[in-house]
Amino acid sequence: MNYASAIQTTGQIALPAWRSRLLFVLLLAGLATLLVRAIYLQGFHDDFLQQKGDARYGRVVELHAHRGMITDRHGEPLAVSTPVESVWASPQDVKASTPQIIRLAKIVGLSPEEVKSRLNAPREFVYIKRQLPPEQAGKAISLGIPGISLQREYRRYYPGGEVTSHLIGFTDLDDNGQEGIELSMQNLLGGKSGSQQVIKDRRGFIVEDVASLRAPKAGSDIALSIDSRIQSVAFREIKQAVENNRAKAGSIVVLDAKTGEVLALANWPSFNPNNREKPSTALIRNRTVTDLFEPGSTMKPFTVAAALETGKVRPGTVIDTSGGVLMLNGRKIHDTHPERALTVAQVIQKSSNVGTAKIALGMSPEVFWRSLSDNGFGSQTGCEFPGEAAGKLRDYRKWRPIEQATMSYGNGISVNLLQLARAYTVFANDGELMPVTLLKQQTPASGVRVYSEDTARKVRDMLEMVVRPGGTAPLAQITGYRVAGKTGTAHKLENGKYVDRYVSSFIGMAPASDPQLIVAVMIDEPGGTLYYGGQVAAPTFGNVMGSALQLLNVPYDAPLDNVMQAPDEIVREEV
């Protein structure tokens, strides 16, 4: 019977037996292959499936570390971190209607277009809005949009605002320091972030915290040397001085004369670090350490100290001031108050340029340079504040006589205000130069001897004459305290030429019998009719120093009627 007759007889198709057996074998082989593959993937090579599962249902979330707190020397907070929530999304999991997007945008303070743009980003993780208050972030989550979650972060808050902004600085959105102490102490304050693995459901919601892969490590707290009470006074007074004198800017530093600790440091104009809009560079730079200026007559005490130390002069040595005029290499040095002769002490009291120049020229360039260098001029203070300028002190081997003469009264040399304040510790500590620091010190600081005790005390006595009637700064007197200090008034240098714009300064210490504090004031470009240091900077010194001494309960060292009436016309210094 053939194949056709078989069909006709039975009415059915009869397949050869070998074909059915082959089909069975093939099906059995396929099942065996699948079984082996399943065993291989799940028993010996499960990484692949694990990765795919994690990609669909798992995610590693960063855990931000709590940033360390910054306090003043008494524990008052200057920078603290408060918990906030950031709204983030996994774009591939987000399923949101247009009304939901509009409501979400309104809650987080963005436009609907911005929210859509972020949700359409070709990434697995995007921020919708960072650092929101927990209540506001909670409203965003309550919309129930799949794929949108919260992440705990911390936002920096500065209780002092603009009062401490130049000192403390600020952080960025990722809580990394950008300026000031926040930047210089980043390694200590920042801590280390951690991470946590979480599981999402099929709608994109986080349903379980699986494990902490790495616990976050909180940053360390830092106690600064700053006294918040004195800082507030210093800020208020420098702001007032700039505004009263219509000046471009102003800076002030208050030092503990015995330890070199910075008790206050302020500038005006200032900025509010709590405003997340980044201010201009001109506003955020800390002028006390970044801005250089020619110190003018505040350098004269160092010239005299060097000469006293070498034995070239004594306080009573008479200097021929030639009627207030000195011609040197075709250049004229002159005084506004011409005198035929002045003692060394009177040279300081009346701020004679001619007298100071003659004293300087009586020393070798190397000796004079060494004295200035030993006082820290031309090098950084060591406070490690970001962006500190070292100042300029030229090599003595390149000096000409006219340069040595002008440098003696503060022209041709540049300093920052903190550097200048530090240098005056040599007179407050009987010849020892103290290190400066912005951190609270637990152990007494040790200084470096620059001058003998006798030299330092003689210069301090001369500086007391400056604030008495007949000196350049009677407006720096303080009720109940003896004061020693020096005025400075210098033309500003622009394009290699001195112009009729000024930097006015006063650096002083009190009580002069045993100095506890040093206050340095600098007013940049006073715009009124008054511009001498004794007129615009000395009164600010007096206000800050007087308040600070009272706050620290420093005993009086003078009668309460010690302040003598300043003359209508104070002695002015030529610049």
pLDDT at position 572 is: 73
pTM for the full predicted model: 0.85
Question: Is residue 426 domain-shared with residue 300, that is, in the same domain?
Answer: yes
Q: pLDDT at position 5, please? A: 52
**Do residues 76 and 186 both lie within one domain?**
yes
Please report, for the domain that includes residue 410, its CATH number.
Answer: 3.40.710.10
| Co-location of 29 and 162 in the same domain | no
Same domain? For 184 and 257 the reply is no
Lowest mean pLDDT among 181-185, 197-201, 203-207, 532-536: 203-207
Least reliable range by pLDDT among 21-35, 142-156, 256-270, 439-453: 21-35
Instruction: Evaluate whether residue 159 is within a structural domain.
Output: yes
Last residue in a domain, options 189, 223, 257: 223
Print the domain residue range for 7.
Answer: 3-45
For residue 91, pLDDT beyond 90: no
Q: How confident is the model at residue 144 (pLDDT cuts 50, 70, 90)?
A: confident
Model pLDDT for residues 366-399, shown as the tens digit of each residue: 999 999 999 999 999 999 999 999 999 999 999 9
Whether residue 184 is found in the same domain as residue 244 = no
How much is the average pLDDT of 506-520?
Answer: 98
Q: Is the same domain home to 352 and 204? A: no
- One domain for residues 195 and 217: yes
In a domain, 505, yes or no: yes
Q: Is 297 a catalytic residue?
A: yes
Q: The domain spanning residue 134 has which CATH number?
A: 3.90.1310.10
The answer to whether residues 320 and 365 belong to one domain is: yes
- The answer to whether 466 and 348 have CB atoms below 8 angstroms apart is yes
- Which one is catalytic: 81, 184, 297, 547? 297
- The amino acid occupying position 134 is P
Higher pLDDT, 494 or 307: 307
- What string of DSSP letters covers 536-574? HTHHHHHHHHHHHHHHTTPPP-S-TT-PPPPPSSPPP--
pLDDT of residue 407: 96
- Listed residues 183, 203, 223: the one ending a domain: 223
Q: Is residue 238 part of a domain?
A: yes
In the chain, the number of structural domains is 3
Q: What are phi and psi of 314, to 5 degrees?
A: -130, 165
Is 575 part of any domain? no
Cα atoms found within 13 Å of the Cα of residue 530, Cβ hemisphere only = 17
- Residue 384, domain member (yes or no): yes
- Does residue 235 share a domain with residue 161? no
CB proximity list for 345: less than 8 A, separation 6 or greater: 315, 316, 461, 462, 465
* 107 found inside a domain: yes
9 and 112 part of one domain: no
29 and 78, same structural domain? no
Task: Tell me, yes or no, whether 384 and 282 share the same domain.
Answer: yes
